[in-house]
Structure 1
Amino acid sequence: MEIITIKYPLQGQDSNGSIRPKTLAIGHFDGVHRGHQSVIKQAVESARAEGLDAAVMTFHPHPKEVLGRGSQYVTCLTPLEDKIERFRRLGVDVVYVVTFDLTFASVSPAAFVDEMLRPLHVKRAVVGFDFSFGAKGAGRAETLRELGHPDMLVDIIEPLMMNGDKVSSTLVREALAEGRPEAAEVLLGAPFSLRGKVVPGEGRGRKIGFPTANIQLAGAYVTPKLGVYAVMVELSSGERYSGVLNVGVKPTFHDSLPMPVMEVHLFDYEGDLYGAMIRISFITFLRSEKKFASVQELIEQIGADAARARSVLSAFK
């Protein structure tokens, strides 16, 4: 899969991948949830049927972050590297990462089509029903269809509904904020996961019999509800371990921390993980974080958490 970073105006930035005719799915696609997947899969299927490249155009950073319309978009369900990996798994041939800045934000819908899409040889564009583009979101999906005529076809994908709700990144974020990773998994089509590097922590877990890996996140991920989770952990070697994770401010030991930390205890693992990159998948929320009256009370609760997590995760072995 080819990854091409472009910026408006193009000015010859396109590389080899751009000169081939293609079908292009367009969107930010944070989370690459099932609704996003329906758009991308349509682009891939059309490309295969028509003998074209299957491409995706996404934007970085999030438009709402650049335009100051939502502080929640400082964090992502899928930082760019994770998003690109999900595109790869969906069979995409080329990914265009468009630098979203104030210059690009001021581009008219017509200029976007004539100065971005046509030079990239887009023969068919695929977008969601609520797609908007151009300065102040003036362009809609139907606008794209009109501007693309007659040489660029446009497929508009209807919303994917689940339990009466439209599948959306907002719905995934809400599920995670409420401690419902199972609901997020249904929307995403896979467990919510994040990547991080194991770094030295306070060393307290080993002293109380539950050694933990302290995680330095590899991107600006959405933080799930603070508390304890049953998780699956994948090492760079591909080995998978079940475990129990705490995300929080450790109130038993600290009056306050500037931001939550993540620590994970892997079951039946022996070795040194310092410096390793791991992927953590959130399976079940076990309990909220709380301050314990004593370290012994905390140890007993961690033991109970671990036993429950082992039971929950037994099916993942």
Structure 2
Amino acid sequence: MKTIEITYPFNMDNLLVKPTSLAIGFFDGLHLGHQAVIDQAIEKANKLDIVPAVMTFSPHPREVLGKTTFDGYLTPLKEKLSQLEALGIERVYVVTFNPTFANLEKESFITNVLVPLQVSAVTTGFNFTFGHKGLGKATDLAHLGKGSFDVKIVDPVIIRDQAVSSTRIRQSLTSGDIQLTTELLGRPYRIQGKVVHGDKRGRQIGFPTANVEPEQPYYLPAHGVYVVRVVNKNTTAYGVMNVGVRPTFDESAAKTKLEVHLLHQPSHLDLYGETLKLELLYYLRREVKFTSVEALVAQIKLDRDQAIQWIKDKSLFFDERQNSFV
């Protein structure tokens, strides 16, 4: 997949544009609704024998316009690009979202952005907006682009009687409804980061943890304890992850930390510096402050047992001899 970062006004000399079937949107989360848009763009590309492509934007408009507080991405750009490639996209235009681009009139978006990029077909979601103050609607693309490109507007994907949306996914993560999050995404929610050195308290109480520092500005789920699948370049394992501030040890801590205890971790395994992908599978409980370290240890043992039972109930293979999941 070819990724092309561009800033408006474009320098067309270096773009090497090709006729494309273009899905347009921010696509934060690349949830089932977004996937439906992208699938339609790929289908159109196959019919016309042109390049299946995506136009997305960076950074998030909320970061630039400052109308509301920005609290992180469901799929930061690097994660988004990886998933777009897996979906079958061959070219991605990453347009810098800045005040100049934000103030572009909707007509200019057609004539100065889409037409020069040789877009033959456009696919968008039903709620797509563009141009100054978002005054351009999906239906305006067909009217303003008539004679230049075909337009397909994709209906919402409905799950549990509501449209799939990035907002719903944020709400489900905040409430700890990981099952709904997975349904809306069509996959587990994933956070990627590097293992960094911590204070080794987990090791001191008999439950060593990998302290994971997100490598991108992810939207973090509710504070609490989760069953997770842990993937790195060498292995896939299961674990229990605490998301929070560890109130039993540090009431004043403000920064949210991600600490993962693997259900099976060979003594020789050294994860420091490794990049891990953490997939949220199940929400066990909220984060609480315990009256003693002994009470915390007892709860961690219970969390571990409940995680193992949950994974067994989901028919994932459990190796009794190695006390590990594969």
TM-score norm. by structure 2 comes to: 0.94
Which amino acid in 1 is paired with 2:68? G
Give the deviation of 1:66 after TM superposition.
0.8
Indicate conservation of the 8 Å contact 1:65/1:74, yes or no.
no
CA RMSD of aligned residues (A): 1.0
**Superposed counterparts of 1:111-150, under 5 Å:** 111-150=108-147
C-alpha separation between the residues in 1 aligned to 2:184 and 2:251? 36
**Superposed counterparts of 1:54-133, under 5 Å:** 54-71=52-69, 73-133=70-130
Deviations 1:105-159 (A, max 9, x none): 0111111111111111000000111111001111111111111111211101111
Match of 1:264 among 256, 260, 263: 260
Say which SS state the counterpart of residue 182 (structure 1) adopts: helix
Deviations 1:249-292 (A, max 9, x none): 11111121121111001121220000000000001110111111
Say which SS state the counterpart of residue 110 (structure 1) adopts: helix
Indicate conservation of the 8 Å contact 1:4/1:14, yes or no.
no
Aligned to 1:32: 30
Aligned to 1:293: 291
Deviations 1:57-97 (A, max 9, x none): 001011122111221x3401010001111111110000110
Aligned to 1:180: 177
Say which SS state the counterpart of residue 272 (structure 1) adopts: coil
Aligned to 1:193: 190
C-alpha separation between the residues in 1 aligned to 2:249 and 2:289? 8
C-alpha separation between the residues in 1 aligned to 2:139 and 2:232? 45
C-alpha separation between the residues in 2 aligned to 1:267 and 1:39? 38
User: % of aligned pairs identical?
Assistant: 43
Give the deviation of 1:241 after TM superposition.
0.3
Match of 1:154 among 146, 151, 157: 151
TM-score norm. by structure 1 comes to: 0.97
Which consecutive residues of structure 1, in runs of 5 or more, have no partner in the other structure?
Answer: none
- Alignment of 1:15 with 2:15, yes or no, is yes
Aligned to 2:322: none
Equivalent pairs, count:
313
C-alpha separation between the residues in 2 aligned to 1:77 and 1:274? 25
Give the deviation of 1:11 after TM superposition.
2.1
**Superposed counterparts of 1:163-174, under 5 Å:** 163-174=160-171
Give the deviation of 1:13 after TM superposition.
6.0
Say which SS state the counterpart of residue 24 (structure 1) adopts: strand
Which consecutive residues of structure 2, in runs of 5 or more, have no partner in the other structure?
Answer: 317-325
Aligned to 1:307: 305
Give the deviation of 1:223 after TM superposition.
1.2
C-alpha separation between the residues in 2 aligned to 1:10 and 1:69? 27
Which amino acid in 1 is paired with 2:15? S
Which amino acid in 2 is paired with 1:111? S
